[in-house]
Each structure stands twice: as structure tokens, then as C-alpha cells.
Amino acid sequence: MTDQLKRQVTLDEVAERAGVSRSAASRVINNAPHVSKAKRDAVQRAVNDLGYVPNATARALATQQVGAVVLAISSDNPQVFTDPFFADVAVGVNSVLEETELELILQLATSTRGQTRLEQVLRTRQADGVMLMSMHGDDPLAQIAEDSDVPVVFGGTPANFEPRYYVDADNRGGARLATEHLVATGRTRIATITGRMDEGAGTARYRGYQDALAVAGLDASRVVYGDFSEEGGGRAMEQLLAEHPDLDAVFVGSDQMAIGAMRVLKDAGRTIPGDVAVVGFNDVVLARHTEPPLSTVSQPIQSLGREMARMLLALIAGESPTPLILPTRLVRRASS
């Protein structure tokens, strides 16, 4: 058989020979910037060994600018975007992108159909870049994003791995500050309501609570696992009161959950902060208007969105930015 009649080598064969994913092989062949040297070398060897010749039309499509980026929230809670945290992130993202020609698309992957749609965006490059938030430890979109041709920035980190490009807050340090504050006010029976433990923020804030109580020599067993929702915070507080009626303080992993917890405490006849001091996390606008106003850990939420957008623009431009951790600080109000 002559060379002219030989079957054309496929991209899948190149990927298999190189021992990488199809999308990683595609990134190398299209000279995308965010590929490790080891993968790049392996793909180049496979291309040379197999005599692979890229399809010119496919290559042009792969490098074509779409003119839009996606801010995607992957969650199994259809009410997730009612959380003011995500609204503030979107404001921050938009403030950066409005200085560019890129259109911002908001996508809520709160159902199987929504997740499939987002997976299609990642696999087929229907956007110039994607910002992913609220990733759970078992969410397949996290690894799909890491292997995608599309530049991806994570807002926060999944619980089970650290992505290449992300912007996060100092969740562990902030939770430690909150718990140390409760210790400093003389509280000794301090409970916590965690966020979701399959999210990086949930696990980091729980560890910060444990850190502070370990240093203080206090019991850290008064724990109920929450879900970052107001309703979940209320249910968790009911459970804490049933199991630990002597508690005198609670660090809550988000302001939304803290609002639900405060409602349950009041219904149970507990005064705040007289009987039970409460500290939340995030410093959303609602935290200033609870009764009493909620002490909380402030993270720069709009800055989180701005830095995510800036990092994504850098990736699209072919740069390799460094992951970023934003500082947090304690805001003391009347609830503690």
C-alpha cells in the first residue's frame, strides 16, 4: 500500500500512544499554553511516531474565538443562585468583563440536563473560557474541566484535589479567627455547623474550627454537618440543641446557615448572644440586618469574582497565572 492510500491517523490514536486524554493531545497539537511539559513531550513523540497530520479545518475551529465566557455553578440545589454570595461573585466577574468584548453567560448546572449542557461546552469549546464554582468532590465536571481544551478557572477548590488555576479565600484561617474570637469572649462549649463536606470551603472552615479549639484545649465534638442553606442551618441548629443543650456558642460555616440557626435559637427561647453567641462566614449584606446583627468572617466576595475573571483573561491570552488565595477578616457585631 502506498503512502497516499494509508489510512489517516486519528487524534484518538495519538492520545492513546501518548498516554494522555484526547483533549490534552488536542491542546498540544493546537499549541495551547496550559499543558505540562511531560504531556507536551509525550504527545509530540506520538505525533512523530505515528506520522499524524492535523486536519486544517478542525485546527482552525479549535483555535477560533467564540466571544463569550461562562460563569457556571455546579450544584444539586436549584435554589443555589438565591444565595447572595453567588450574586456578589457575578457582579465582580462582570465588572472586569465589561471592559472587554467578551459576553458573560451564567449557567446553573443544577440538574442532569444542565450538567450535560456544561459538559458539552467544555468538551466542544463553545466558549473562550469557563469559571466553575460550587464543585463537589464527586462532581465529574471537575476532572472534565481539567482535561478540557477550554481555559478554566475554579472559584474555590474541590475537596478532593487542587486544580491548576483557581481563586479562593482563606477559609481555614477565617474559621480559626471566628472560633478564637468565641474562645476569647469566655465561651467554652462551642459548637459548629459546617458547610458541605464535599466542597473545599466546607472542609477548610471545619478544620479552622478544630485548629482553634485544639490550641485552646476545648472539646471540638459538638458538630453537625450542614449544606450552606438557611433551611439546612435551621435543621442543624435543632439537632445541636437536642444533642448539646448546654452549648454556649456556635460557629456557622455560612451566613445563610447562621440566619437559619439564629431563628431556631430564638424559637427555643435562647438569647443571642447572652445564652448562645453566633458567628457566621461570608459577610453578605443580610448579615448586617439580622436581629441582632451577625458577627461573621468577611471574605472579599466581589474581589473573588474580579480575580477569577482576570485569571481567565490571562489564560485566554496564553499566560500561566498563579493560583490566588484572598485574605479573610473577622467582623464583630452584636451576635457575639
Q: Hey, what's the torsion of the CAs at 169, 175, 178, 182, to 10 degrees? A: 180
pLDDT at 139 over 90: no
Residue 47, pLDDT above cutoff 60: yes
Q: What is the mean pLDDT of residues 302-324?
A: 91
Provide the pLDDT for residue 162. Answer: 82
Dihedral (Cα; 29, 129, 163, 134), 10-degree rounding = -150
Predicted confidence (pLDDT) at residue 19 exceeds the cutoff of 50: yes
Average pLDDT, the chain: 87
160 or 248: which leads in pLDDT: 248
The whole-model pTM stands at 0.77
90, 106 in Cβ contact below 8 A? Answer: yes
**pLDDT for the residue numbered 2:** 41
Q: pLDDT over 90 for what percent of the chain?
A: 55
Confidence of residue 3 (pLDDT cuts 50, 70, 90): very low
Instruction: Write out the three cell numbers for 178.
Output: 471566628
* C-alpha–C-alpha distance, residues 201 and 259, integer Å: 18
Going by C-beta distance under 8 Å and a sequence separation of 6 or more, which residues neighbour residue 269? none
Read off the pLDDT band of 4 (50, 70, 90): very low
| Domain parsing of the chain, residue ranges | 3-62, 68-169+307-326, 171-298
Q: Does 56 have pLDDT greater than 60?
A: no
Assigned C-alpha cell, 56: 486544517
Q: How confident is the model at residue 167, as a pLDDT?
A: 96
Number of other residues whose CB lies within 10 A of the CB of residue 33: 13
Q: What is the pLDDT of residue 317?
A: 79
258-296 pLDDT, tens per residue? 999 999 999 999 999 999 999 999 999 999 999 999 999
How far is it, in rounded angstroms, from Cα 142 to Cα 161?
9
pLDDT digits (tens, 9 = 90+) for 73-105: 876 665 666 678 888 999 999 999 988 888 898
Question: What's the CATH class of domain 68-169+307-326?
Answer: alpha beta
pLDDT digits (tens, 9 = 90+) for 177-209: 999 999 999 999 999 999 989 888 999 999 999
171-298 CATH fold: Rossmann fold (3.40.50)
- Tell me: pLDDT of 25 over 60: yes
CATH (one of 1.10.10.10, 1.10.260.40, 2.40.40.20, 3.40.50.2300) for 3-62: 1.10.260.40
